[in-house]
Amino acid sequence: MDIILASGSPRRRELLNRAQLKFTVISVDIDETPYQDESPKNYIARMVAAKAEAATAALNSQLKNSDPYASTSLTSGSVILLTSDTIGVLPDGKTVLVKPSDRADAYRMWQQMSDSTHEVWTAVQATQLSLQPTHCDKPATEHVWQMIKQQHIIERTEVTFVALTQEMMSEYWDSGEPADKAGGYGIQGLGAAWVSRINGSYTNVVGLPLAQTLALIKQMSNDACD
């Protein structure tokens, strides 16, 4: 079954490429603001579901201007749509760390993670989409992508930081690396110097728990064939 990755993250694309997985990419943009008092579990599950809905709407918008019988992976049969979201969670189990809005926001998060252990959570949702006629009495060329089923997983990894100084935080922010990353750091980049140990999946901290994602894709593919 063909796979669509609904993500603009180059890190997620790189991880799937390492697994030699063939996939198509579509980027989506949603409001990622947490609700007041929203738990990390509810927040991250809401994010991957919202991204799936936005990606499906974008695919249907593209479909209106294309030939539904063209020989591409997006115009026939069924596909698996992958959506993912990564957050940091402080030891209180309640505070969600997303992408920093500015330098001050990054410093605030880093000070809470300094010389302590936080968790990185990544949710991955696999959604089966099927190309269906809009109405039985309409011409066969009028189709839409419809959601058939969804499955999602949440992977958690413990990450321990060294004690951070003002100089370390200032230099790291000025590098430009933290701005687009949950918790304001990238373990695969300069942020690795802050990590003294991890407990769990490394690729989860990068942005996509690879082994677990591949298992989810396999399960969804098998279910679609039953």
Number of Cβ atoms within 10 Å of the Cβ of 65: 6
* pLDDT computed for residue 71 by the predictor: 35
Q: Does 57 score more than 60 pLDDT?
A: yes
Residue 67 has pLDDT above 70, yes or no: no
3 state SS of 159: strand
Average pLDDT (2-13) is 93
Question: Which tops the pLDDT comparison, 103 or 69?
Answer: 103
DSSP for 181-210, written as a single string? SGGG--TTTGGGGGEEEEES-HHHHHT--H
Q: What percent of the chain has pLDDT over 90?
A: 73
Which are the contacts of 49, defined by CB distance < 8 A and separation ≥ 6? 83, 125, 150, 152
Q: Does pLDDT of 32 surpass 70? A: yes
Tokens of 214: 């591949």
Average pLDDT over the chain, rounded to an integer: 90
Task: Average the pLDDT over 88-107 and give the result.
Answer: 93
Catalytic residue, chosen from 31, 85, 115, 223, is: 85
pLDDT bucket at 64, cuts 50 / 70 / 90: confident
Residue 74 has pLDDT above 60, yes or no: no
- Can you give the pLDDT at residue 76? 52
Which residue ranges form the domains of the chain, and what is each CATH number? 2-225 (3.90.950.10)
pLDDT confidence of residue 73: 47
Average of per-residue pLDDT across 43-61: 94
Which is more confident, 132 or 81? 81
Q: What confidence score (pLDDT) does residue 75 get? A: 46
Report whether pLDDT(123) > 60. yes
Phi, psi of 96 (to 5 degrees): -95, 130
Sort residue 43 into left (φ over 0), alpha (ψ -120 to 50) or beta. alpha
**Per-residue confidence band for 226, with pLDDT thresholds at 50, 70 and 90:** low
85 counts as catalytic: yes
- Split at pLDDT 50, 70, 90, the class of 141 is low
Residue 53 has pLDDT above 50, yes or no: yes
